[in-house]
Amino acid sequence: MSPQRKPQGSVLLTGFAPFGGETGNPSWDAVNSLDGEVVAGHRIVARRLPVAFDDSLRELNNHIDAVRPALVLCVGLAGGRSRLSIERVAINLIDARIADNRGAQPIDRPVIAGGPAAYFATLPVKAMLAALGEAGIPAEISQTAGTYVCNQVFYGLMHALSARGDAGVRGGFIHIPYSPAQAAHHAGAASLAIDTVAQGLRVAVDTALATTLDRRIAGGAEH
């Protein structure tokens, strides 16, 4: 039997704590289920972020410093969506419809004062979309990550990677639907099993690590 190959590097996956009155968050459940797995020669390191404007970016940056990943993929819950939503763009805006877990509700505030209006994900979003479709996992490209903590983390991630000059470290964000257990309390809401989400994240990470030049396929929207 040949010896197991040592992982070439790490991938940082983050999920979130529960928020908005929910008792769980499938973004963390799915990410945590992958902790320690090796995908495309890289070991997955899962970390949970708080749903708190004052703490989320500080903790994310601490995790990046500690893990020194080759790739960062943040994952968050978007109840009401029916597919894995691969986010394309993060905007420099916080406009909280609800308070965070510490009671803060900033309105019309930048994520980073003086920062660019927006950042694009540096992951191969179209290749990831195609790979997820081939794997039978419902997915889409999303043009908005909202204006809550998920967008703040996505923008803050891309700003941090840009500021560090970590040209070789790519980053992005995926929103996921409710879990079936959550959807049972939200009439008519779509859901995806946590195992399906976890498999989708495996496919997304594998594709991102293996793809340098993104595919040129349609993934836009009319509205």
Phi-psi region of 177 (alpha: psi -120 to 50; beta: other; left: phi over 0): beta
- Tell me: the pLDDT tens digits for 142-201? 999 999 999 999 999 999 999 887 668 999 999 999 999 999 988 889 999 999 999 999
Q: pTM of the predicted model, to two decimals?
A: 0.94
| CA pair distance 121, 189, nearest whole angstrom | 28
pLDDT mean over 108-123: 98
CA dihedral angle for residue 14, residue 72, residue 94, residue 179, rounded to 10 degrees: -40
Q: Residue 172: in which H helix or E strand, if any?
A: strand 170-176
Quick one: 14 exposed, middle or buried, by C-beta within 10 A (0-12, 13-18, 19+)?
buried
Is-catalytic flag, 222? no
Give the Cα-Cα-Cα angle 122, 128, 131 (nearest 5 degrees): 160
Is-catalytic flag, 175? yes
| CA pair distance 106, 128, nearest whole angstrom | 33
Question: Catalytic pick from 59, 87, 185, 222?
Answer: 87
- Tell me: the pLDDT tens digits for 60-93? 999 999 999 999 999 999 999 999 999 999 999 9
Mean pLDDT of the chain: 94
Question: Catalytic pick from 42, 74, 150, 159?
Answer: 150
Question: Catalytic pick from 37, 175, 222, 223?
Answer: 175
Is-catalytic flag, 150? yes
